[in-house]
A and B are shown apart, each in its own frame.
Chain A
Amino acid sequence: MTDTTSSPQGVSPGGASGDPIRRPVFVGPHLARRYARERRFRLLGLASVATAGVILLILLGSIVSKGYSAFWQHEVDLDITFSAEELNPDGGPVERETLLRANYLDMVRDALKREFPDAADDRRERRMLYGLVSPNADLALRNMVLEDPSLIGTTQTVAIKMSDDMDTFAKGFIDRDLPEGDRRVKDREISWHDHLEAEGRVHAAFNVDFFTTGDSREPEEAGIYGALIGSILTLTVTLLVSFPIGVMAAAYLEEFAPKNRFTDLIEVNINNLAAVPSIVFGLLGLAVFLNFFGLPRSAPLAGGLVLALMTLPTIIIASRSALKAVPPSIREAALGLGASRLQVVTHHVLPLAMPGILTGTIIGMAQALGETAPLLMIGMVAFIVDVPQSFTDPATVLPVQVYIWADSPERAFVEKTSAAIMVLLGFLVLMNAVAVLLRKRFERRW
């Protein structure tokens, strides 16, 4: 075969051999540039991933390094005398009422006074001495006696929680070399602490209460459990409301609804709703759920409904694209075998779309988990001590707890804040893990 498209320039570089394939001369340098461009693109991509990774590491690193210490709490072993005079004055059978009302704080204080007799005279110094331990230490003692009344009249070595300032000091966050006026912990308190430590009475223990109690204004007593339960209750309502409604809406719009301007309008509106700032949903919730339907303020039920409104568009959009991704051949085959349209959707299309729908739902739920703004309007940003027991009890949620602690003056709340963030992230990871598991289960190949 002869070359018919000879170039007007005439001779090719290797023309002598008469090679039938002619390459344009400019391919060489151009090719190198294309390769270079690709390399650059890859490098940029890699750099972006690395940047994101580093930022994430810094963020997690700062949270963990600030917060890990919150999982420990320093305690001091004191010899507490469970005075029979106070707990069982008439010497008869022990009465529960008396045990409930007894002054346990005095028993702690007596123990401290016995340990440091020289501090007992001066009023100011006594106050300082009592400040070594948590003002809520009496609750632990009360529970001990209620559980085991035989303790009455005996002296036991009990581990009593230290106060937040002393705990912070024991953890090494207060520099003892600063001038005395510049630190929360005074020289006298440090000398007491050192004395107790030398006697081996001070030790750090895992802070169980952090995971089992509600909020408190005493940092050493404050726990995340109330907010965790609040978050679980709220998200349960959100999921129960938004998932079925979202999936139904998506299935109808995708599989049954006629394509006309009206459904187009609905689609545009759903997409817009997904971008509405969350505080707007809070205002809506206040007007509709609280003022019109009269739901209780601060309740997970109202919070869950508000968050469900916010999550709905996300679920609908994700579900619709998951349904769209199911190949039409599946529907046609099912219809061809005589299935009704409802059977096509419920037996074939929905199960196949389920992994995608679940992904969308989890993204929506994760958003809902992190929201505080819409909850502000319905009173869930509040100081709540009691752990919620039902959907109508006052409750708060994890991100709100983070906010409230970050806003508290006491220094010891700094570490609690970071610890609460860790719990929040842990909860998120757990949610995602469940979603991955479910997705694996439902995944089908065709």
Chain B
Amino acid sequence: MTFSFGKAVAIAALGVVAMTAQAEARDQIRIVGSSTVFPFATVVAENFGKTTGFKTPVIESTGSGGGLKLFCQGVGTEHPDITNASRRIKKSEVELCASNGVTDITEIKIGFDGIVLANAKASETYKLSRKDIFLALAKEVPVDGKLVANPYTKWSEINPDLPDTEIEVLGPPPTSGTRDAFVELVMEVGAEEIPFLKDLAKSDKDKFKQVFGSMREDGKFIEAGENDNLIVQKLEANPSALGIFGFSFLDQNADKVHGSVIEGNAPTFDAIADGSYPVSRSLFFYMKNAHVGVIPGMKEFVAEFTSEKAAGQEGYLTDKGLIPLPEADLEKYRTAGEQLTNLSL
């Protein structure tokens, strides 16, 4: 065995090859963003790769916020072309994009996703209102005209109709789009139903935001990570706990868990589609118009995503748990994708 510098030289050569590789143009769409949209975007990407001559897009699941941050870093092949989001782009993010030269963005809404509070089949279905949920999960709640640390330990203390079990809810962490949507759709609405907080909303908006935005930290609300499958497993093991996750996971695990009825509506496909189930949010993706024509297949990918066979009423995305947009809306976004209509907030 002799060791020479030969090997080291070979490594250096490898390095040089690597440096030249970057000059190569990218011929593959790169997508980042929401973990909620990920299961849908990946199906579309796979079908797109299968049925067209283009390469299958590469999709990373980075969370809505993380995706937009990467997306807004600039124009050029080293930056992603599309980002998925389980909420609408924020004004601050549009500004960040603009400051990096990303000024032309097309917004496409692809459908809805219901957020469910589910528990194991072994225990009975909860019938909740958003006010109940707020009172159970907020860090501070009003008692006798002032805000105190949440004193409730059992559901029956909040509402005598609810079961006499300990409050225990597993939910997503703050980095998740599901958490943002849950706070906005459940906690904020629930808080507004309490007269004291409604007054607070008028007098001190920031304080109100802080009240409905803070989840309790005394172990009643448990951040269970981004993995919804894990939450389902934990619910099976612990029948008294509730879990917060997207409808597609309820759909796939209907034999193990059932969703709580919220304000009289059970989370079913039809109830979410017609809007009677109150906790649902829109799913989006954003496309960098400057990359159209530079990266092959951008327009065709958007066409596939908004096509009838994908996002339509009977499209393959509905098999994966996406709640489709009404016909007219889908048509609108299909046209936006064709004409690269610039985003307006």
Measured CA separation A241–B8 after assembly (Å): 8
- Flag if A409 contacts B2 (CB, 8 Å): no
| B-side interface residues, number (CB < 8 Å) | 50
A354-B1 in contact given A184-B252, A217-B43, A382-B59 (Cβ < 8 Å): yes
Q: A383 near B227 (CB under 8 angstroms)?
A: no
Query: CB distance B46 to A409 under 8 Å?
Result: no
**Cβ–Cβ contact B255 & A174, under 8 A:** yes
A306 to B316, alpha carbons, bound, how many Å?
38
B254-A295 in contact (CB<8A): no
Q: Does A379 contact B (CB under 8 A)?
A: yes
CA distance A139 to B314 in the complex (A): 22
Residue of chain B at shortest CB distance from A352? B1
Closest residue of A by beta carbon distance from B230: A406
Contact status A409-B252, CB under 8 Å: yes
Separation of A354 and B227 alpha carbons in the complex (Å) = 44
The answer, yes or no, to whether B163 is at the interface (CB within 8 Å) is no
Which A residues lie within 8 Å of B55 (CB)? 386
- Known contacts A178-B255, A384-B58: A127-B314 contact under CB 8 Å: yes
Question: Is B124 on the interface with A (CB-CB < 8 A)?
Answer: no
Contact with B along A292-335 (1 / 0, CB 8 A): 01111110010000000000000000000000000000000000
Interface readout for B251-280 with A: 1 if CB under 8 Å, 0 if not? 111110000000000000000000000000
Q: Which residues of B contact A294 (CB under 8 A)?
A: 19, 22, 78
User: In chain A, what residue has the closest Cβ to B35?
Assistant: A407
CA distance A136 to B56 in the complex (A): 15
Measured in the bound complex, the distance between the Cα atoms of B45 and A216 in whole Å is: 10
Nearest A residue to B59 via CB reads A383
Which of B11, B49, B56, B319 is the one whose CB lies under 8 Å from A244? B11
Which of B3, B4, B61, B319 neighbours the largest number of chain A CB atoms within 10 Å of its CB? B3
Q: Give the residue name and chain of the B residue nearest to A407 (CB).
A: B227
Contact A406-B229, Cβ < 8 Å, known A386-B55, A394-B58: yes
Q: Given A135-B316, A409-B228 in contact, is the A297-B78 Cβ separation under 8 Å?
A: yes
Q: Does A94 contact B (CB under 8 A)?
A: no
A381 at the interface (CB under 8 A from B): yes
Q: Is A125 interfacial (CB-CB < 8 Å)?
A: no
Contact B39 A295 (CB under 8 A): no
A411 to chain B, nearest CB (A): 6
Bound state CA distance, A354 and B1, in angstroms?
9
- In the bound complex, do residue B121 and residue A383 qualify as a contact, i.e. CB atoms below 8 Å apart? no
For A209-220 the 0/1 string (1 means CB < 8 A from B) is 000000011100
Chain B residues whose C-beta falls within 8 Å of the C-beta of A174 in the assembled complex: 255
Q: Name the B residues within 8 Å of A248 (CB-CB).
A: 3, 8
Residue B24 at the A interface, CB < 8 A?
A: yes
Question: Cβ of A95 < 8 Å from any Cβ of B?
Answer: no
| A410 interface contact, C-beta 8 A | yes
Task: Report the minimal beta-carbon distance from B145 to chain A, rounded to whole angstroms.
Answer: 45
Q: Is A39 an interface residue (CB 8 A)?
A: no
User: Given contacts A244-B8, A245-B11, A411-B252, are A295 and B56 in contact (CB under 8 A)?
Assistant: no
Whether A370 sits at the interface, judged by CB under 8 Å, is: no
Judged by DSSP, the binding face of A is loop
Do B254 and A182 touch (CB < 8 A)?
Answer: yes
| Cβ 8 A contact of B60, one of A131, A347, A382, A391 | A382
Given A350-B1, A394-B28, does the pair A293, B22 have CB atoms closer than 8 Å? yes
What is the bound-complex CA distance between A382 and B251, given in angstroms? 24
Please provide the chain B residues from 1 to 55 with a CB less than 8 Å away from any CB of chain A in the complex: 1-4, 7-8, 10-11, 14, 18-19, 21-22, 24, 26, 28, 30, 35, 38-39, 42-43, 45-46, 49-50, 55
Instruction: Tell me the nearest residue of chain B to A174, going by C-beta.
Output: B255
Contact check, B252 vs A410: say whether CB atoms are below 8 A apart: yes
Cβ of A385 < 8 Å from any Cβ of B? yes
A346: CB under 8 A from chain B?
yes
Chain B residue nearest to A390 in the complex (CB)? B21
- Find the B residue at minimum CB distance from A237: B14
Bound-complex Cα distance A106 to B58 (A): 29
Return chain A residues, CB-CB under 8 Å to B319: 131
Chain B 189-212, CB-CB to A under 8 Å as 1, else 0, gives: 000000000000000000000000
A144 within 8 A of B: no
Q: Determine the residue in chain A with the shortest Cβ distance to B28.
A: A394
A243's nearest neighbour on chain B, judged by CB, is B7
Q: Do residues A407 and B229 form an inter-chain contact, with CB atoms below 8 A?
A: yes
Bits for B52-90, please: 1 = Cβ < 8 Å to A, else 0.
Answer: 000110111100000000000000001000000000000
Q: Does any Cβ of A come within 8 Å of B126's Cβ?
A: no
Partner-A contacts on B (CB < 8 A): 1-4, 7-8, 10-11, 14, 18-19, 21-22, 24, 26, 28, 30, 35, 38-39, 42-43, 45-46, 49-50, 55-56, 58-61, 78, 121, 226-229, 248-249, 251-255, 314, 316, 319-321
- Which A residues contact B (CB, under 8 angstroms)? 127, 131, 135-136, 139, 174-175, 178, 181-184, 216-218, 237, 240-241, 244-245, 247-248, 251, 290, 293-298, 301, 346-347, 350-351, 354, 379, 381-386, 391-392, 394, 406-411, 442
Write 13 A-B pairs (CB below 8 A) sorted by A numbering: A217-B43, A218-B46, A237-B14, A294-B78, A295-B21, A346-B3, A346-B4, A347-B2, A383-B58, A391-B18, A406-B227, A409-B248, A410-B252
* Inter-chain pairs besides A407-B228, A409-B39, A409-B251, 4 sampled, C-beta below 8 Å: A237-B14, A244-B7, A386-B49, A407-B61
7 nearest interchain CB pairs?
A385-B56, A294-B22, A382-B60, A383-B59, A244-B7, A383-B42, A217-B43
